[in-house]
Amino acid sequence: MRNLYAERREWFVSALKSETDGLIETTRPSAGLHLTVWLKENIDDSEAARRAADAGIVSEPLSALCLNNRSARPGLVLGYAPFNREEIMRGVRTLAKALRQ
């Protein structure tokens, strides 16, 4: 399972870097089933999560996970573990389109 999730993580990070046109920054973590992505400073992460949800993408804004409801930088927590390569690519394209609106 570890190799499967590592492969999916790699697909996810690569798709984010190639499809989001600088809207999102991320790193390649060495493990995990979720990824934190950082948004441009002028993007409200709660609004981004709402737009993503409207497009069918489940995410958690980082601000919702902070005590004062504000993170140092806007971002989203996204999961990738249950998805195949095609689903990851489709989801990233959908997320990018939602964030551009």
Can you tell me the distance from the alpha carbon of 30 to that of 38, in angstroms, rounded to the nearest whole number? 17
As a 3-state breakdown, the chain gives helix, strand, coil percent values, each rounded to 5, of 50, 15, 40
pLDDT at 66: 84
Residue 70 has pLDDT above 80, yes or no: no
Share of the chain above pLDDT 90, in %: 71
pLDDT at 28: 82
Six token digits for residue 101: 């609106």
Domains parsed from the chain with CATH numbers: 2-100 (3.90.1150.10)
What does each C-alpha distance from 55 to 49, 73, 82 come to in angstroms?
10, 23, 18
pLDDT at 84: 96
Amino acid at 96: A
Residue 71 has pLDDT above 70, yes or no: no
Query: How confident is the model over 13-51, as pLDDT tens digits?
Result: 999 999 998 889 988 888 889 999 999 888 999 999 999
